[in-house]
Chains A and B, each alone.
Chain A
Amino acid sequence: MNNAVIIGASSGLGRALAEQLSTHNFNLLLIARSERDLLAVSRDLKLRYKNEVNIKLLDFSDLSQVDGFIKNLETGLVYKNFFICVGKIIENDTTGIEKSAFKSMVDTNFTAIAYFLNKITNCYTENQKIHISLISSIAVIRPRGNNIIYSTAKAALDFYGRALQHKFHDTGISIQIVRLGYVDTSMAYGKKLLFPVVTPNGAAKKIYKLTKTNRRIIYFPGYWRYIRLILNLIPWRIYKKLVF
Chain B
Amino acid sequence: MLAQLKSFDGNENYLANIERPGKYSELFSLINSGKFIPRGAGLSYCLASAGSKVTSIHTVLFNRILDFNRIDGIITVESGLNLGDFLSFIIPEGWFFPVLPGYPKITIGGCIGFNVHGKSQYNIGLFGDYVKSLKLFHPAYGEIVCSEEENKEIFYLTIGGFGLTGLITEVELKLIPLHGRCIKQSKINVQNLSEAVDFMVKRHENYYSMYSWHNINLYGKNFGKGIIYAETFYECDPAKSAKKVKYNSITSDTRGKFKIGLFNNLTSGIESRVFLTKERLGNKSLIIPLEKASFPINGKEIYFKLFGRKGLMEYQMIIPFNNWPKFEKDFYTIIKASRLKFTLCSLKLFKGEHKYLNFTGSGICMAIDRIAGKKTELFYAQLDKLVVDNEGIANISKDGRLRSGQIKDMYPGYHDFKNKLVKFEGVNSLHSYLRERLEL
Q: Which residues of A line the B interface, CB within 8 A?
A: 10-12, 15, 34, 36-37, 40-41, 43-44, 47-48, 185-186, 189-191
Determine, out of B17-25, B305-313, B418-426, the stretch whose residues face the partner at the interface: B17-25
Q: Could you name 26 residue pairs across A and B whose Cβ atoms are closer than 8 Å?
A: A10-B23, A11-B23, A11-B61, A12-B22, A15-B22, A34-B23, A34-B24, A34-B25, A37-B25, A40-B62, A40-B64, A41-B64, A43-B64, A43-B65, A43-B66, A44-B64, A44-B66, A47-B65, A47-B67, A47-B68, A47-B89, A48-B65, A185-B22, A186-B23, A189-B1, A190-B1
Report Cα–Cα, A189/B18, bound state, in Å: 10
Task: Name B62's closest neighbour in chain A (CB-CB).
Answer: A40
- Minimum CB–CB distance from A141 to chain B (whole Å) comes to 25
- Minimum CB–CB distance from A50 to chain B (whole Å) comes to 11
Known: A36-B24, A37-B23, A48-B89. A190 touches B18 (CB 8 A): yes
**Contact, CB under 8 Å: B21 / A186:** yes
Whether, in the assembled complex, B3 has its beta carbon less than 8 Å from a beta carbon of chain A, the answer is yes
**Contact, CB under 8 Å: B89 / A40:** no
**Contact, CB under 8 Å: A43 / B1:** no
Map CB proximity to A onto B2-13 as digits: 1 under 8 Å, 0 otherwise: 010000000000
Whether, in the assembled complex, B399 has its beta carbon less than 8 Å from a beta carbon of chain A, the answer is no
- Which chain B residues border A41 with CB–CB below 8 Å? 64
> How many residues belonging to B are interface residues under a CB distance threshold of 8 Å?
20
- Which chain B residues border A189 with CB–CB below 8 Å? 1, 19-20
- Which chain B residues border A34 with CB–CB below 8 Å? 23-25
Report Cα–Cα, A40/B135, bound state, in Å: 14
**Contact, CB under 8 Å: A44 / B1:** no
Whether, in the assembled complex, B205 has its beta carbon less than 8 Å from a beta carbon of chain A, the answer is no
- Which chain A residues border B24 with CB–CB below 8 Å? 34, 36-37
- Minimum CB–CB distance from B118 to chain A (whole Å) comes to 24
**Contact, CB under 8 Å: A190 / B68:** no
Q: Which applies to chain A's interface (DSSP): helix, strand, loop or mixed?
A: helix
- From B22, B65, B67, B78, name the one whose CB has the most chain A CB atoms within 10 angstroms: B22
- From B3, B65, B78, B89, name the one whose CB has the most chain A CB atoms within 10 angstroms: B65
**Contact, CB under 8 Å: B20 / A40:** no
Report Cα–Cα, A189/B62, bound state, in Å: 16
Task: Name B70's closest neighbour in chain A (CB-CB).
Answer: A47
**Contact, CB under 8 Å: B64 / A11:** no
- Minimum CB–CB distance from A37 to chain B (whole Å) comes to 5
- Which chain B residues border A40 with CB–CB below 8 Å? 62, 64, 66, 78
- Which chain B residues border A37 with CB–CB below 8 Å? 23-25
- Minimum CB–CB distance from B87 to chain A (whole Å) comes to 13
Whether, in the assembled complex, B26 has its beta carbon less than 8 Å from a beta carbon of chain A, the answer is yes
Q: Could you tell me which residues of chain B, from 78 to 95, have a CB within 8 Å of some CB in chain A?
A: 78, 89
- Minimum CB–CB distance from A106 to chain B (whole Å) comes to 21
- Minimum CB–CB distance from B338 to chain A (whole Å) comes to 44
- Minimum CB–CB distance from A100 to chain B (whole Å) comes to 17
Task: Name A32's closest neighbour in chain B (CB-CB).
Answer: B23
Q: Could you tell me which residues of chain B, from 164 to 198, have a CB within 8 Å of some CB in chain A?
A: none
Report Cα–Cα, A47/B62, bound state, in Å: 16
- Minimum CB–CB distance from A187 to chain B (whole Å) comes to 10
- Which chain A residues border B20 with CB–CB below 8 Å? 186, 189-190
Report Cα–Cα, A154/B20, bound state, in Å: 25
**Contact, CB under 8 Å: B23 / A190:** no
- Which chain A residues border B1 with CB–CB below 8 Å? 189-191
- Which chain B residues border A10 with CB–CB below 8 Å? 23
Q: Could you tell me which residues of chain B, from 117 to 169, have a CB within 8 Å of some CB in chain A?
A: none
- Minimum CB–CB distance from B36 to chain A (whole Å) comes to 16
Task: Name B93's closest neighbour in chain A (CB-CB).
Answer: A47
Task: Name B169's closest neighbour in chain A (CB-CB).
Answer: A36
- Which chain B residues border A190 with CB–CB below 8 Å? 1, 3, 18-20
- Which chain A residues border B89 with CB–CB below 8 Å? 47-48
Task: Name B20's closest neighbour in chain A (CB-CB).
Answer: A189
Known: A40-B78, A47-B89, A48-B89. A186 touches B65 (CB 8 A): no
Report Cα–Cα, A12/B64, bound state, in Å: 14
Q: Could you tell me which residues of chain B, from 389 to 412, have a CB within 8 Å of some CB in chain A?
A: none
- Which chain A residues border B19 with CB–CB below 8 Å? 189-190
Question: 15 new A-B pairs (CB below 8 Å) besides A43-B65, A190-B1, A190-B20?
Answer: A11-B22, A15-B22, A34-B24, A34-B25, A36-B24, A37-B24, A37-B25, A40-B64, A41-B64, A43-B66, A44-B64, A48-B89, A185-B22, A189-B1, A190-B19
Task: Name B85's closest neighbour in chain A (CB-CB).
Answer: A48
Q: Which 4 A-B pairs have the closest CB atoms?
A: A190-B1, A44-B64, A11-B22, A40-B64
Task: Name A44's closest neighbour in chain B (CB-CB).
Answer: B64
Report Cα–Cα, A109/B87, bound state, in Å: 39
- Which chain B residues border A15 with CB–CB below 8 Å? 22
- Which chain A residues border B25 with CB–CB below 8 Å? 34, 37
- Which chain B residues border A12 with CB–CB below 8 Å? 22
Task: Name B26's closest neighbour in chain A (CB-CB).
Answer: A186
- Which chain B residues border A43 with CB–CB below 8 Å? 64-67
Report Cα–Cα, A129/B22, bound state, in Å: 34
- Which chain B residues border A191 with CB–CB below 8 Å? 1
Task: Name A190's closest neighbour in chain B (CB-CB).
Answer: B1
- Which chain A residues border B78 with CB–CB below 8 Å? 40
- From A41, A47, A48, name the one whose CB has the most chain B CB atoms within 10 angstroms: A47
Task: Name B88's closest neighbour in chain A (CB-CB).
Answer: A48
- Minimum CB–CB distance from A231 to chain B (whole Å) comes to 27
- Minimum CB–CB distance from A191 to chain B (whole Å) comes to 8
Residue in A36, A44, A48, A186 whose CB lies within 8 Å of B22: A186
Task: Name B78's closest neighbour in chain A (CB-CB).
Answer: A40
- From B1, B24, B67, name the one whose CB has the most chain A CB atoms within 10 angstroms: B24
Report Cα–Cα, A185/B21, bound state, in Å: 9
**Contact, CB under 8 Å: B21 / A44:** no
Report Cα–Cα, A167/B165, bound state, in Å: 58
- Minimum CB–CB distance from A220 to chain B (whole Å) comes to 20
Report Cα–Cα, A12/B20, bound state, in Å: 12
Report Cα–Cα, A10/B26, bound state, in Å: 12
Report Cα–Cα, A12/B61, bound state, in Å: 9
